A and B are shown apart, each in its own frame.
Chain A
Amino acid sequence: MQTENKKVLLSIRDEKQYFPIKKTGFREEQKYVKANDGISIDIYEGETLGLVGESGCGKSTFGRTILQLYPQTDGEILYEKDGQMINLKELPAEQMRELRKDLQLIFQDPYSSLNPRMTAGQIIGEGLVAHGKFKKGDPALRDYVMDVMKKCGLDSYMYGRYPHQFSGGQRQRIGIARSLALNPRFVVCDEAVSALDVSIQSQILNLLSDLKEQEHLTYLFITHDLSVVKYISDRIGVMYLGNMVEIAPTEELFARTLHPYTKALLSAIPTTDANDKRERILLEGDIPSPVNPPSGCKFHTRCYQCQEKCKCETPVLEDKGNGHFVACHYPLEA
């Protein structure tokens, strides 16, 4: 609905990320885990794009590949800067390093993502020094870091404390303060609230939405928690086994679900409504191996309305109006 008048921040075309697996035999052919197998999507400035899917479907890989934390296998990731589209894959390491201040990441696990040997102040301030915004030991740096900490709900006396002296929620706030200190434009929140308990989750989610308004951020919000994604996202992308199967604005996705997999996912959201008449769709079997994904539509092995065509022909993302894209031969209600 708003796609035309919005500015594209990241344009991703046919992004692929494969990881080699260790060969067991001597003359065995090299096999790959196809974590992302051809993803195309545009991310608009100022939006929150939610990304959902089962464990192991490649959500986190997608977020990290955008930030070039893995050597990208194939495809284009174009980043808009000063009216130019920059292909991140082709960028030399040094220039990519400089661009990192624009593209930031908030990690899932606030326990392992903070260096245990640095104080909160050092963790937050280090990136600023690395990008030459401040000199090391500059008193202005200390003030700036404390300012960012305050914005993220941390008190200034916490400046000199080590990560192990904080609670999980506070640690996640340090992680957020760390990424926002650099004034990024785009932040990947990789399961940013999954490791926290529910009351802290809502605090952090509110903090993230407030910061988004203040700092004009764009989020890629990766989660497997559908209630969270519904709450925070403008648009939602659904992933299955390394592919994007459905992309739609949040309201639209919940009101008019087109992909059978999305339908099954949504039916799994727990509810407190006793009169809820939704049918619970149970998917059978496990997610297939990303090493040898099924032919045709990758979902056909578990789909409850699979047809012959699904087994041999790979569906592509098609526009169904209202900014709603789906990759299915037989979409629901269409």
Chain B
Amino acid sequence: MHKGKFLVKRLIYIVFVFFIISILMFGIYKSLPGDPVRMMMGDNVKPEVWQQQYDTIKESLGLDKPIPVQYVRWMGNMLRGDFGYSTEYRRPVKEVIGVPMRNTVTLNLVSMFIVFIIAVPLGIAQAVKKNGVFDKIVQVVTIVGYSVPSFVIALLAIYVFAIRFPIFPISGVKTAGFTGTGMEAFLDSAKHMVLPVLVLSVGGIGSIARYVRASMIEALRMDYIKTARAKGLKEKVVIYVHAFRNALIPIVTVTTVWLISLFGGSIVIESIFLWDGLGKMMITGLNQRDFSVVLAMQMFYVILSLAGNVLMDIAYTLVDPRVRLED
């Protein structure tokens, strides 16, 4: 009952924020220097017809109208699922954005999965044997992984695994001219994914393992852990049921924030590995003044972080019965 009311309120709030941000974004991109029509026309147009062609394209893109009218049209189209026309690719944004979106999401989900299956047990093992030799070694390794910038790790990984020992391809999503299907295609793209996933995971493992360790140590210090031991529960139950479930609360927060930043933060990684993803697309779009693409992606990030925050609130209630979604 409470949950339903809460969600409705949150959704209204999200819609509100969404529109405000969209107006801001639209305004900012419209006031940026650079002319998309000119970019689109190129240099090979005869001077006699130049002005005429310029006006035609401008009109067809709707750029001759006043900005508020443009905004309403853009927003209306967006809501109908039409994200505009890419001046760079000369195709609708929707068609252009499909493949990169799939590539980015796959890359991030795979690395997130890997981060979790490694970081969580690692953090727990550290917390249980706090200040032991294992803990100290992992502490050093995680702080290094966490603080070295990802492009440094990326270059290192390329040097070691693609140049000195050419096990994995340097960059790209799949081998050029590759035509295999089924299992072969899967193996090919998996091979291309290894290095970017490795680089994305190193930083993630570093920070998540440290958070898990810290919140587990906090949870293991609580009196109810002694209660659980005094009950005569098995040590495994004490650690995984009593301590870990309580340690989850701060982990949920960090994970959501990190998850949102993962989609934006992979711009660097995608550029280095020439990964045909959203990040790379964003950079190209900005360079080419392809505002339809950039705006559509900006709005994707906005929705992602707004939805992420609601998901975080719901996750809190699942994790901690003291948290109630009210007012």
**CB within 8 Å of B: which residues of A?**
64, 67, 69, 93, 97-101, 104-105, 107, 109, 112-117, 126-127, 130-131, 162, 164, 175, 178-179, 182
Contact = CB atoms under 8 A, between A and B. Distances in A.
A100 B230 contact: yes
A115 B321 contact: no
Contacts of A112: 222-224
A69 B232 contact: no
18 contacts: A93-B235, A97-B233, A98-B232, A100-B231, A101-B232, A105-B227, A107-B226, A107-B227, A112-B222, A113-B223, A116-B224, A116-B322, A117-B319, A117-B321, A127-B232, A130-B231, A131-B232, A179-B230
B230 to A, nearest CB: 5
Nearest to B322: A164
Contacts of B228: 115, 126
B246 A116 contact: yes
B1 to A, nearest CB: 17
B229 A69 contact: yes
Interface size class of B (residues with CB under 8 A): 20 to 34
Interface in B274-327: 319-322
Contacts of B11: none
B180 to A, nearest CB: 50
B222 A100 contact: no
Contacts of B237: 130
A297 B244 CA distance: 46
Contacts of A101: 232
Contacts of B233: 97, 126-127, 130
A127 B242 CA distance: 13
B46 interface: no
B245 interface: yes
B164 interface: no
Contacts of B235: 93
B80 interface: no
Interface in B209-256: 222-224, 226-235, 237, 242, 245-246
A178 to B, nearest CB: 7
A100 B230 CA distance: 6
Interface in B170-216: none
Most buried by A among B227, B246, B319: B227
A229 B104 CA distance: 68
Nearest to B321: A162
Given A115-B246, A126-B228, A178-B231, 6 more contacts: A69-B229, A69-B230, A104-B230, A113-B223, A175-B227, A179-B230
A97 B227 contact: no
A94 B322 CA distance: 34
Contacts of A113: 223-224, 226-227
Contacts of B322: 116, 162, 164
Contact of A115 (B227, B232, B234): B227
Contacts of A114: 224, 227
Most buried by A among B223, B229, B235, B320: B223
A150 B229 CA distance: 25
B230 A105 contact: yes
Contacts of A126: 228, 231, 233
A289 B42 CA distance: 84
Contacts of B319: 117
Contacts of B246: 115-117
Interface string B91-122: 00000000000000000000000000000000
Contacts of A178: 227, 231
Nearest to B243: A115
Nearest to B222: A112
A116 B242 CA distance: 9
Contacts of A130: 231-234, 237
B277 to A, nearest CB: 39
Most buried by B among A67, A99, A104, A113: A113
Contacts of B224: 112-116
A20 B231 CA distance: 26
B234 A67 contact: no
Contacts of A107: 223, 226-227
A194 to B, nearest CB: 14
Contacts of B245: 117
A67 to B, nearest CB: 6
A69 B238 CA distance: 13
Contacts of A100: 230-232
